[in-house]
Structure 1
Amino acid sequence: MTVVFDRPYQFVPPMRSSWWPTVIQTLRLYDLYLRYSEGVVDYELRGLEHVQASKDSGRSMLWAPNHCRYADPLALGWPARQLGVNVHAMASWHLFNVSSFDSFALRRMGAFSIFREGNDRQSIEAAVQVLVEGKRPLIVFPEGAMNRTNDLVKPLLDGVGLIARTAARRRVKQLDDGQDPTVVVHPVGIKYLCIEDPQPWAELQLDQFEQRFAWQFMPDRDIRTRTVDVAATFLAIKEMQYLGQVQQGSLSQRRDALIEHLLRFGEQSLGLPMTIADARDRGRAIRAKASEQHFSPHQDTSEAELRRVATAADLAQELLSYQESYLLPGKATDTRIVETIQRMQELMDGRSNNRVPLKAVIEFAPAIEVSTSRPPKGQRDPVMQELDEQLNDLVANLSKEARAL
C-alpha cells in the first residue's frame, strides 16, 4: 500500500555527508543487495561519455530514468561508482516506512522523501537546492511511480521540468563568475535482460499459479499462452471481488472497466468531483484525499473504509501496467513473460520470486540543456518534450535486445 496510515508525513531531508555513500560504494553493497534481493547479477553501462562531459564541464546534472523495477535506484549506483560521484534521489515517503533498516539505508545512500499524496514543497525545494549546489547528480523518476512494463514509458510528470528550470535560474544568480551555471537533464534508459533461458523458472511459477486455481490435467500450451491464461484468471478474480461477476469483452476492455469502477468507487466514497480525466491523476487524488481524511481531526470516514479506498486505487494503478498488446503473438519476449509473472506474484502475495538472473543495461542519452526562461504559454515545456522523446527512444531500442518467443 502506498498510502501511509501509521503516521503523518514528515519530510526526510537528504544527508549531505559523503562518508556513508562512499563506504557503501567501496564495499559494493549495491551489488550484494541487487544480486540477492532483486536477482540482478550483472550490468552494462552505455553513454557514460555524455555524463562524463557534463561532469567535466561543471554542469549540474539531473538523471531522469524510466522506472520499471524496485532495483532501479540501486542499479544507478553502478554508473555513479564508475563516474566517481555520489547521488541524491527523490524517493516516495512510503519507502521510508517499510522498516527502520530501509529508512536508515535509504538516507545514507542519498535518498530524501517526496510525498506523492500532496504538495510537498520541502521536497521540491530540497531537489532544487541539490541542483543549485551541483555537487551530486539528482535522480528523479519522471514517470512518478514504478511501471512494471520495462518496454513502455508511462506519461511523464511535469515536476522534472519545474525542478530543473527553477534550479537553472537560481544557479545563474548564485554562482561565481567562471563557473558553468548550466543545469542539464540526462535521460536514462534502464532495461533488464534475462541472462539465461527463463522458461524453466517461468514454468515452475505458472505451475504454482495453476495449482492455486485447482487446474489439473491441463492441455499442453506454450509459455506465452499459459501466462496470458493466468493473467486473465487473475483479472477474473478481481472482477468477482469488486464487481461480483466476470465481465464480457476483450482483456483490455475488461481491465479498463475494472479500473474505472475502482476509481469511481474511491471518488464517490471520498466525495471527490469526477472531473479528472487521466486515470493516474485520479488515483493520486484519491490517495491524497484518503491520507488527508485519515489525519484530519474531523475524520468523516472510518480507517477501514479509507484503507479499502486506497487499496482499490493502488490496484487501479497496478492494472494500468497490464497491456494486452504486451503478450500478443509475435510481441512477447522472455523479459515480458518474467515481468508479467512477477507482477502477478506481487499483487497476489505481496512479493515476487526474483530467482531468475537478470542483467541491467543502463544507457545515458546526451544532455538536455535547461533554459532559464519560461516555456511559451499554452505549450509543453521543451525540456519535458525532449525528455519524453529521448526516453521513449532509449526504452524502445533497448527492448529489441530481449529474446523473442
Structure 2
Amino acid sequence: MRRLRNDLPYTFRPPRPRAWFRPIGLMANRYYLQKKFAVTKLDDSGFDRVRELSRAGHAVLLAPNHADHSDPHVMTELVARHGMKSHFMAAREVFEISKLGSFALESMGVFSVDRDGPDLSAIKTAITLLESSSDPLVIYPEGEIYHHHERLDPLHEGVASILLKAAARLKDGKEAYLVPVGIRFLHDPLVEETFRDRLSRLEDRIGWTPRPALPIDERIVRLGTGLLGLKEMEHTGEAGRGQIQDRLATLCDALLTIAEARHGRDPKSATAPERVRAQRYRIRKRLLDAEKPPTFVERDELLDDLDRVFTALQAHSYIGDYFLAEQTLDRRAETIMKLEEDLLGFPNYPSPRTARVTAGEPIPVSSMLAAGELPAKGGAGQLTGLLEERLSALLG
C-alpha cells in the first residue's frame, strides 16, 4: 500500500477517448503487463456473456476485486480481447504522477475520482457513461489494493449506488447489469527461489541481520511481527501482546481514534476504510483552506495525522490469519510483495505470473428493480451485499 500525503487541490480529469491513441495505448498496456508486472499469461472465462450484453446496447458495470497493481492492465487487455472498449474510474493519484500519464489515461477512456470525498463530477460521469454508452465501465468496489487475492475486503456502496441511479434513467429497452469479476494471480514455482534473497533485503532494510538459514514461513511471520512491533512502538510507545490479528485491529483503532479526536468522527463511518476516508477528507479540507490557511505548525500536525490514518489503513490491510491459515506458494508470494511495497515503496515481480479472471453471472439490476426485488431508493446496501457474495464465491 503506497503512502499518500496528498495535499494538492483536486482537479477532475474526464475521459477523452482518442481513436488514434487506442492502438498505442493497448500496445503499451501489454508491455506493462509483461515487463513491469510479469503477467505472461491471461486466462479468462465468462466474458462472452459480457460481450453479448454490450453488443445488445445494455449498460454494463464490471466490478472486479482489487488485489494487485496490474488489475487495470489486466482488465483493459481482457475487454479488448473480446472486441470491446472500456471506461475506467481511477484514483486521482494516478493522474498526478505525470502529465503524459494523465494524457494517456484520459485518451484510453479513464476518468479520475477523489476517493476521500463526495466527487460529484466522477459520479455524474459514471452515470452518464452507463446511460449513453454500451462500453463496459470498470469500477473497483474495494477501493484500495490489499494484496490478498483469496480474501475480499468490505465493498463500498458507491458502485451499487451509481448503477442504481443509472438504471433509473435508462430508456428504450436498455437495461443495467452488474458483473462481478474475480481476479486471481498464480505464481510460477520459480518465484520460490527468490524468497530468501528478497527477505534478506527486507530484514536488512529495518536493520536486522538477515537470517537466510531460517525456514521461509518462519522468516515471513518473524518479519511481519517485527514490523508490527515497530509501528506499535512508533505510535503508542509500546509493543502489543497477543494474537497478530487483535494487535493489528487495536493499532488501527488507536490511530483512527487519535485523528478523530482532533478532527471529529463521521457517525456514518463504521468500517476502518470508511473512517480512514472520512479523516483524509477532513484533514485535506483543512490543509487546503484558502480563507484561513493553516500555520506551519498546524500544517505539520495535519500531515502527521495523514500519516497516522495511512498507518491505520496499513494495519487494516494485513489479515492476520490470511498467511498463518495456509502457507501456499501464492500466499507466500503475495505477503512478501506486500511487505516489499510497505518497506521499499513498490513490490517486485521477479518471475512469471498467470492472471486467472472470471466474469460471474451478470446481476440484472433493471429486472430486479422492476420486480421489486431491489428498492429504487435505499437498495445500494442490498445490491452491495449481493455483489460481495458473488465476488467471494468467484475467489473461492
TM-score (norm 1): 0.89
Structure 2 counterpart of 1:393, one-letter code: A
Within 2, Cα distance between the matches of 1:249 and 1:274? Answer: 30
Contact 1:40-1:360 at 8 Å conserved across structures: yes
Matched ranges for 1:249-264 at <5 A: 249-264=242-257
What is the match of residue 9 of structure 1? Answer: 10
Question: What CA distance in whole angstroms lies between the structure 2 residues aligned with 1:256 and 1:109?
Answer: 39
Moved more, 253-262 or 263-272: 263-272
* Distance (whole Å) between structure 1 residues aligned to residue 77 and residue 120 of structure 2: 30
Aligned counterpart for 2:339 among listed residues 327, 341, 344: 344
Q: What is the alpha-carbon distance in structure 2 between the residues aligned to residue 9 and residue 253 of structure 1? A: 36
Identity over aligned pairs, percent? 29
Q: Which residue of 1 aligns with 2:20?
A: 19
**Partner in structure 2 of residue 284 of structure 1:** 277
- The structure-2 alpha-carbon separation of the partners of 1:121 and 1:274, relative to structure 1 and needing over 3 Å to count, comes to closer
The residue identity in structure 2 corresponding to 1:8 is: P
Whichever residue aligns with residue 283 of structure 1, its letter is V
Change (3 A) 1:94 1:213: closer
Separation in structure 2 between the aligned mates of residue 71 and residue 362 of structure 1, nearest angstrom: 12
Q: CA RMSD in A?
A: 2.1
Deviations 1:279-326 (A, max 9, x none): 111111110001100111224462222221112211211221211211
The Cα offsets for residues 347-401 of structure 1, whole Å up to 9 and x where unpaired, read as: 12212222232111111012111135662777664432321111110012xxxxx
SS at match of 1:144: coil
Alpha-carbon distance change, 17 to 380 in structure 1, aligned in 2, over 3 angstroms: closer
Given candidates 157, 182, 189, the residue that maps to 1:189 is 182
Which residue of structure 1 aligns with residue 395 of structure 2? 395
Conserved? CA contact 2:202–2:343, under 8 Å: no
**TM value normalised by structure 2:** 0.91
Aligned twin of 1:309:
305
**Preserved contact between residue 167 and residue 365 of structure 2 (Cα < 8 Å):** yes
Q: Tell me the residue number matched to 2:123.
A: 124
Deviation at 1:134, TM superposition (A): 2.1
Q: Is the 8 A contact 2:87 2:137 kept in 1?
A: yes
Contact 1:9 1:115 (C-alpha < 8 Å) held by counterparts: yes
Q: 3-state DSSP class of the match of 1:107? A: helix
- Which residue of the partner structure matches residue 46 of structure 1? 45
Which residue number in structure 1 is paired with residue 356 of structure 2? Answer: 361
CA distance in 2, matches of 1:106, 1:275: 33
Paired positions, count: 386
Q: Distance in 2 between matches of 1:142 and 1:206?
A: 32
Aligned partner of 1:165: which letter? L
Q: 1:298 aligns with which of 285, 292, 316?
A: 292
| 1:110 positional shift | 1.6
Does the CA-based 8 Å contact 2:196-2:212 persist in structure 1? no
For 2:340 and 2:395, the matched residues in 1 are separated by 24
Deviates more, 1:369-378 or 1:251-260: 369-378
- SS of the residue corresponding to residue 76 of structure 1 reads helix
Equivalent position SS for 2:391? helix
CA contact 2:177–2:365 (8 Å) conserved in 1? yes
Query: Structure 2: any 5+ residue segments left out of the alignment?
Result: none
3-state DSSP of counterpart to 1:286: helix
SS at match of 2:48: helix
SS in 1 for 2:318: coil
Cα deviations across residues 104-133 of structure 1 (Å, max 9, x unaligned)? 222122210111111111110000011001
1:270 positional shift: 2.4
